[in-house]
Amino acid sequence: SYVLTQPSSVSVAPGRTATITCGGDNIETKSVQWYQQKSGQAPVLVLYYDEQRPSGIPERFSGSYSQHRATLTISRVEAGDEADYYCQVWDFSSDHVVFGGGTKLTVL
């Protein structure tokens, strides 16, 4: 089955840039979604189809690919960005939705 790999944690100071990666076989051929989940809340879609932002999501959130990994970049990080972040794809070969294990973003 298809596996998405994320770092378990990332720490960043306020005002700096956070980068969260998501690795998987040939991930460049898939559309990647990113979700933010704050403690005790439901997930919120922050990026879809690799780099598209839903309405209401700040431009500080952006998506890209680098070195065979999808990347979520959060610029000018704020305390309110502290949350768990999950990447997600549709795996055509298995007809399954796949989530990464999640990355806990800590704002120092």
Partner 1 sequence: EVELVESGGALVKPGGSLRVSCAASGFSVSDKDINWVRQAPGKGLEWVSAAYSGGGAIYADSVRGRFTVSRDTSKNSLSLQMNSLTADDTGVYFCARDGDNAGYMFDLWGQGTLVTVSS
- Distance of closest approach, residue 89 Cβ to partner 1, in angstroms: 8
- Taking CB under 8 A as the binding criterion, the range among 17-25, 65-73, 74-82, 92-100 that sits at the site for partner 1 is 92-100
- Distance of closest approach, residue 56 Cβ to partner 1, in angstroms: 11
Does 89 participate in binding partner 1 (rule CB under 8 A)?
yes
For partner 1 (CB under 8 A), the number of binding residues is 26
- Please write down the HEC assignment for all residues of the chain: CCCCECCCEEEECCCCCEEEEEECCCHHHCCCEEEEECCCCCCEEEEECCCECCCCCCCCEEEEEECCEEEEEECCCCHHHCEEEEEEEEECCCCEEEECCCEEEEEC
Nearer to partner 1, 19 or 37 (CB): 37
- Site track for partner 1 across 3-42, x = CB under 8 A: ----------------------------x-x-x-x---xx
